[in-house]
Structure 1
Amino acid sequence: MEKPLVTLLLPCYNCEKTLDRFMRSVISESYRPLELICIDDGSTDDTAKLLKNFETILKESGVQYTVLTQENIGLGGAIQTGLLHAHGDFLCWADPDDFLLPGSVEKRATYLLQHPACGAVSSDAFVFDESDLKIPLYREAARFSHRFELMQFWYLLRGEG
């Protein structure tokens, strides 16, 4: 059976300082097929240049790579633009100041394939001090009281964390 395509959406606005780290984490991700759609939402720094510089290495690593450029309309608008171009069976939205731990997309896709009744998978995020990316300060989900419940997404949508 062919593995499903996973689309990573990356809305970008003036993220030249963190973009390299994120892109290298995508290249290192074990899961394929993988589609990365970057939406440059009117950046005024070197974000567009960096996105272009990664085109060859991403494609050589087997990542389907698309860069979309638009005038700045904000995060929601950038995500909407990306959704209009996504082809994946599964979808993941990341921020350019994030980075993927090795195998993180692989683990999520595998879980969804093994649990077809499940409509979404959430994952915890480690928060790091930018000067030390080896030792996390804390886990983001620790602040959510419903983090271990099956319906946690419902609580988050209602603002009940």
Structure 2
Amino acid sequence: MKNKISNFSKNSIFLKEKEKMDKPLVSVIALCYNHAPYVEESLASVLAQTYQPIQLIVVDDASNDESVKIIQQFVNNQNNNEEVKFIRLTENVGNCKAFNIGLAQAEGKYVIDLASDDVLLPHCIESQVNHFEKLGEEYGVVFSDVHLIDEKSKVIGQFYKRDKTGKLLQKVPSGEVYTKVLAKSFISAPSMMIRKKVLEEIGGYDQSLSYEDYDFWARTSKKYKYFFINDILVKKRILKHSHGKAFYLKRNNKHLLSTLKIHEKALAQNQTQEENLALAISVRYHLRLSFFTENFDLVFKFAEILQKMQLLSWKDRFFILLSKYKISVYHLYKLFLRWRES
């Protein structure tokens, strides 16, 4: 009887291992910079997935809090799991370069870029892979809805607006989305799974930029389709000093300068008036944001892009005029932002 039970256990283990081998490997690149309060929860969510096999690559970008200590303890507790790697950088290199360092170690067919303050729900990777495997090679990215959570991991909303029954209030673009992503950010980056060959084709993230998602969308959606999964698969943490809020910093704004570079690259690859009109929506928004944040030199540079597309409006010229005289409304803009967040 004991032999039968033993053989059954061995067969079960063998079948599980065979099932893992038959499925594509997913590489999760978890980027950490001063995420000590959240990093353990984030990494644990990767290993708690209903899907296997997963390769977890943790890259710490020279954190100066307790992040490294927590990550090292987490890795040590994995019993020498070869699929868990920790890369500790001694110099802060920024998100784009840190991700590329992790990408160089990635062996999976699919890749997830995970900020180590965000959390994957247990069925996240299984759902993403199941959808990807049913799609053709023309699809480079799948993405979903996310829960928005606060510093205490309390759910405070969703990325896409839904009614009380959970039904989406607006259709989310899917398929060919190039003009959509040029005009407006409508994808929650933490929800994406990316076909690794797409990242390899573009040489990873552009390391000259201060942030990665808009440039990635603009460069890849021109060639590849995106697929929206109508499900909530990730928890995205909203912090007071989150990376995205750097767009509203006064003067010497690196995010706005990076956006200018992305717009210039997008213009160079645009082929139709429809694409230029979509790009103009984003250029115009960032031109005005540059004025409000007193990045006056960038106002003129965003205006040059609109001029090249012959889409400079009288409203744009008004902001250009105000910028020439360096009219400051930043204090009023700050009050507006506080009111909007309250």
TM-score class, shorter-chain normalisation, is: 0.7 to 0.9
% of aligned pairs identical? 26
Which of the numbers 151, 169, 191 marks the counterpart of 1:130? 151
- Of 9, 14, 30 in structure 2, the residue corresponding to residue 10 of structure 1 is 30
Aligned counterpart, 1:95: 115
Alignment gaps of 5+ in structure 2: 1-20, 162-169, 186-342
Structure 1: how far apart are the matches of 2:79 and 2:132? 25
Deviation at 1:153, TM superposition (A): 6.2
Of 129, 137, 140, the residue aligned with 2:159 is 140
1:59-95 Cα distance to aligned partner (Å, 9 max, x none): 57x6711111221011111111111111111001111
Conserved 8 A contact 2:30-2:43: no
Matched position secondary structure for 1:7 = strand
Give, in whole Å, the separation in 2 of the partners of 1:34 and 1:74.
25
Shift >4 Å, 4+ stretches: none
Compute the displacement of 1:56 (Å). Answer: 3.9
Rounded to whole Å, the distance in 2 between the matches of 1:110 and 1:96 is 24
- The secondary structure found in structure 2 opposite 1:125 is strand
Match of residue 174, structure 2, among 121, 124, 149:
149
Count of aligned pairs: 156
Please list the CA deviations of residues 12-53 of structure 1 after superposition, one character each: whole Å capped at 9, or x if unmatched. 111101111112211211111101111111111111111111
Say which SS state the counterpart of residue 92 (structure 1) adopts: strand
What is residue 66 of structure 1 aligned with on the other side?
Answer: 85
Secondary structure at 1:77 match in 2: helix
Matched to 2:149, the amino acid is F
> Larger Cα Rg: Structure 1 or Structure 2?
2
Cα distance in 2 for partners of 1:141, 1:151 equals 19
Match of 2:6 in 1: none
Q: Residue 97 of structure 2 corresponds to which residue in structure 1?
A: 77
Q: Displacement of 1:132 after TM fit?
A: 5.1
> What TM-score do the two structures reach when normalised by structure 2?
0.42
C-alpha distance in 1, partners of 2:73/2:153?
26
Q: What is the aligned-residue RMSD (CA, Å)?
A: 2.3
TM-score normalized by the length of structure 1: 0.85
Higher relative contact order (CA 8 A, sep 6+): 1
Q: Is the 8 A contact 1:29 1:103 kept in 2?
A: yes
* Structure 1 spans left out of the alignment, 5+ residues: none
1:28 pairs with 2:48: yes
User: Structure 1 residues 63 and 159 mapped into 2: Cα distance closer, same or farther (>3 Å)?
Assistant: farther
Q: Which residue of 2 aligns with 1:42?
A: 62
